[in-house]
Amino acid sequence: MKLIGNVAQISNLLYRRFPTYGATRVIAGSPKCNSARRQIGNLRYLVGLCALLAFSPSDSLFAQPDATNPTPVRFLAVDIFVDSKDQPLAAYQLEFSVTNSLGKIVGIEGGEHAAFAEPPFYDPKAMQRERVIIAAFSTQPADTLPTGSTRVATIHLQVIEKAVPEFVLKLHTAADAGGRKLTVSAYLEEGRSR
Amino acid sequence: MKAKFKSYIRNLVCLSAFLSCLIAALLSGCMKRPTFVNSLPGERGMRYSATAGGTLTNGMAAHRIRSDLVTASDELWIIARSSESPAPQGDDAPGSGALMAQLEERQIPMPLKHTDVRASLSGYIATVQVVQQFHNPYDTKIEALYVFPLPANAAVNEFIMTIGERRIRGIIRERQEAEAIYQAAKRQGYVASLLTEQRPNLFMQSVANIEPGKAIDVTIKYFHTLAYVDGWYEFVFPMVVGPRFNPPGSTNGIGAVALGEHGASRQKTELQYLQPHERSGRDISLSVAVDTGVPIEEFRCATHAVSHESISSHQLAVTLNPFDTIPNRDFVLRYRVAGGKVKSSFLTHRDARGGYFTLMIYPPEELASLARQPLELVFVLDCSGSMSGIPIAQAKAAIERGLRRLRPGDSFQLINFSMNTAQLGPRPLEATEANIEGGLAYLHALKGEGGTMMIKGIQAALDFPHDPQRLRFVCFLTDGYIGNETEILREIHQRLGASRIFSFGVGTSPNRYLLDQMAKAGRGAVAYLGPRDDGAQVMEDFIERISHPALTDLRIDWGGMQVEEVFPRAVPDLFVGRPVILTGRFKGNGNTLIRVAGNAANDPVSFSVPATPVASSETSSGLPSVWARMKIADLADQSLLAPDARLHAQIKQVALDHNLMSAYTAFIAVDSTRQSGGSEGVTVPVAVPVPEGVNYDTTVK
């Protein structure tokens, strides 16, 4: 017969002398002893688990989605270029849209040339469907207008982090300083850091 | 043996479960970064960090602070003193070292450096552009927060963020969506700007990730109609928000706290105020271009020192003087056009959305010659702490003049409120000489102290029976410095009865949204008493106006215009000297004859207004925004009486369709080409001065 004692041994750690409630003298081999061993054995792990939970970061075991950032997002810029070849570009109108609902437009920036530096206006009803119809015209003299490939605007977007947004760019019209229609091309590029 | 085996198995299972949980806990705990801890029970977390020294980018050396005096948890404002004497500018120039030394002023660096305002006034439409220049004078990244006022009827429809040479146009979005985009951009280190509406006349500008030494400009553009009274047009640009009183227990108000005491008010919106001897160095420049189309006879700016240039007989340029640029009071410009009054006029605009118009109806001459009716005047005076000094003195002078202008047959009552209410007597008194002298004695004993329980003042003013033999006018004289506007307006709607409410805004920066709305809800009018205005004369003009019957029950025949959605919905009474302005949409022929009919002292009156549309101009291009703003205000008024989520959805949709700010929409702009590293930075609210004439000690926590 072995006297277990009046404390619960919770492993061989320093707090092995941590007293439990209602210490009882228990004699080894008695029915009480067997029950006591089982209870202490289970208690051992339960107390250890509770101690672990109490001191662990609250978001580690029961991490909930962050209410302020429910869906991870990232930001990117899309530069819009119009290439008028050797003709001075005085005006343009084009349409940019996000077609797969994975992006939101969060800013429209003006172009690189002074003639189109002012950020274009947008149609508010079209914007509600992430569609931007932008147009600009410059009254500057023809010899000061841009030629070749010119960044006319940049669209700033927020997109879902791991998603691939799809964009469509439609060129409606372009004209020179005299109001004559120009044959131009338009294209997109991912914006560079500025 | 069997029992032992079972025991071993049980222990093994428990041990396995325990080890599994342990491993899972350790691994997931390692992958997550600590959550940002907000120090507020709300959406914004603010934490100030103390730094020992640092250099401001404007070239001024920072005051070095011994590191043993500062701990990481201290709140500390870096106070900068120039290491060099400034170039002599003369003792009278603001900002000169000599002047600052005399006043022993303390310079507080602020993220808002300068505000530039350019207004263009044409007819009775104002087009205003405001540029706010933010900068970072600290050595760590910051987020700037700035709460500022605009006219309550401002239709804000343009928002541009400027970084260096680059200009990014902001997008109008549903408010919660815009706020979420802003928070995400802020967390990820992008420069972002967010403009939200806290009240129809109160906005918050947030600019995130301003790096040390960098500057960000935010441009806001809006349209609004001008007030026109007794032959004078009035343009107002509000510059500062007065400290508001919030009823005990409220959290949706507007808090007023001392510099650095963030969160002390427990209100959702909060302003920090500089003490009287503190200066932020922030200033304002303002220019107004007036083009009336008819000769300008006279103009006045009683609030600021200005310079002017008459470009032609009908064009005037007014500019704020460089030595009067501290933004601690509203700017008010009044001008009078030829003939002392303007004729009824009509303005239209057509675009892809359809036709918009605005009509100013001026009362006919003969209204002024009709007989005077007996009056019952109820004066309700705000005696709260913010009124102490000049405001209450002016208000008392106005009431005294009102009492002395009463005639036999009139009656009056005097009510005063602060935390509680009191009144001259249990019921209105006949306007006898003895009663008027008693009223004056009561009035002269009143002082400004305590809180502003305006609800009690309204209840006392409207909760007694109306004398059917007299026209009852309830005159509120107050600065409107309260944060529970919705509750006040609802109370007026419910108790108004046959009364008319005239609100008198007192002080340098009254709450014009509240006072305009009180007058609108009360089918009356509003007047403002600036610190340099003659309160007695303003009351004299008011008594003269209400002494003549108004043209009531106005009915308008729009001819071939096919109008729809005309605001205000209930056409106000037409008083002498005060035109009515109606704004709406039309489909038909804009060129027609409009007939106006009504009753004046029970006699029918009618007259015509020729409506000839003018060519579209920059001014009339603002009409759609002005109309949409009025529709939003109408929906908001309906929601005030009967809150309904469908009304909120309608407000949001009108605002989105017209690119307008509202309580449910916001402007957002993000520069996604550059991402700064490090933490989100320190949030720095822009502290503002207490409005001129307001006592800091009795109004700020």
pLDDT confidence tier of residue A48, bands split at 50, 70 and 90: low
What Rg, from alpha-carbon coordinates, does chain A have? 35
**Do the chains contact at A124 and B160, CB–CB below 8 Å?**
no
pTM of the model as a whole: 0.76
pLDDT confidence tier of residue B195, bands split at 50, 70 and 90: very high
Are B633 and B647 in contact by the 8 Å Cβ rule? The answer is no
**In Å, how far from its chain's centre is CA B644?**
24
Distance from CA of B184 to the nearest CA of A (A): 7
pLDDT, average across residues B44-58: 28
* Angle, CA of A36, A41 and A42, to the nearest 5°: 105
CA-closest candidate to residue B413, choices B378, B459, B461, B460: B378
Peptide bond into A31 cis (omega under 30): no
* Angle, CA of A133, A84 and A183, to the nearest 5°: 75
At residue B671, the pLDDT reads 97
At residue B483, the pLDDT reads 82
More confident residue, B44 or A90: A90
CA dihedral B155→B161→B164→B167, nearest 10 degrees, is -80
**Do the chains contact at B673 and A194, CB–CB below 8 Å?**
yes
Helix, strand, coil abundance in chain A, percent, nearest 5: 20, 35, 45
For B565, what's the count of Cα atoms within 13 Å in the CB-facing half-sphere? 19
> For B425-473, what is each residue's pLDDT tens digit?
888 999 999 999 999 999 999 999 888 888 888 998 998 777 878 888 9
Q: How does DSSP classify residue A181?
A: B
**Do the chains contact at A156 and B671, CB–CB below 8 Å?**
yes
E-strand ranges in B517-588 read: 525-529, 552-557, 563-567, 580-586
- The beta-carbon neighbor of A109 closest among B25, B29, B168 is B168
Q: How far apart are CA B662 and CA B176, in angstroms?
A: 12
The DSSP line for A90-103 is -EEEEEEEESSS-E
Residue A125 in 3-state DSSP? helix
Q: If DSSP states are collapsed to H, E and C, what string results for B459-491?
A: HHHHCCCCCCCCEEEEEEEECCCECCHHHHHHH
Q: What mean pLDDT is reported for chain B? A: 81
Residues of B in contact with A75 (CB under 8 A): 184-185, 188, 190, 670, 672, 675
CA distances from B10 to A10, A29, B64, B452 (A): 17, 19, 66, 70
> For B476-513, what is each residue's pLDDT tens digit?
999 998 888 888 888 998 888 888 898 999 988 889 98
pLDDT confidence tier of residue B208, bands split at 50, 70 and 90: very high
Show contacts of B421-425: CB within 8 Å, 24+ apart.
Answer: B421/B453, B421/B456, B421/B457, B421/B459, B421/B460, B423/B460
Q: Which residue of B lies nearest to A38 if distances are taken between CA atoms?
A: B7
Q: Which of B31, B33, B171 to mutate to test the interface with A (most CBs of A within 10 A)?
A: B171
At residue B30, the pLDDT reads 43
pLDDT at B4 over 60: yes
At residue A21, the pLDDT reads 36
Relative orientation angle of helices B485-495 and B512-521, to the nearest 10 degrees: 10
Q: Which of A11, A34, A71, A156 to mutate to test the interface with B (most CBs of B within 10 A)?
A: A156
- The beta-carbon neighbor of B168 closest among A60, A73, A107 is A107
Alpha helical stretches, state H, B576-679:
623-641, 645-657
Q: How far apart are CA B691 and CA B507, in angstroms?
A: 8
CA distances from B663 to B108, B153, B655 (A): 32, 13, 9
pLDDT at B332 over 90: yes
Q: Which residue of B lies nearest to A63 if distances are taken between CA atoms?
A: B28
**In Å, how far from its chain's centre is CA B420?**
26
Q: What percent of chain A has pLDDT over 70?
A: 64
At residue B316, the pLDDT reads 95
**Do the chains contact at A127 and B168, CB–CB below 8 Å?**
no
**Do the chains contact at B168 and A66, CB–CB below 8 Å?**
no
**In Å, how far from its chain's centre is CA B216?**
24
Q: Which of A158, A160, A161, A189 to mutate to test the interface with B (most CBs of B within 10 A)?
A: A158
At residue B268, the pLDDT reads 86
pLDDT, average across residues B102-121: 82
pLDDT, average across residues B79-93: 30
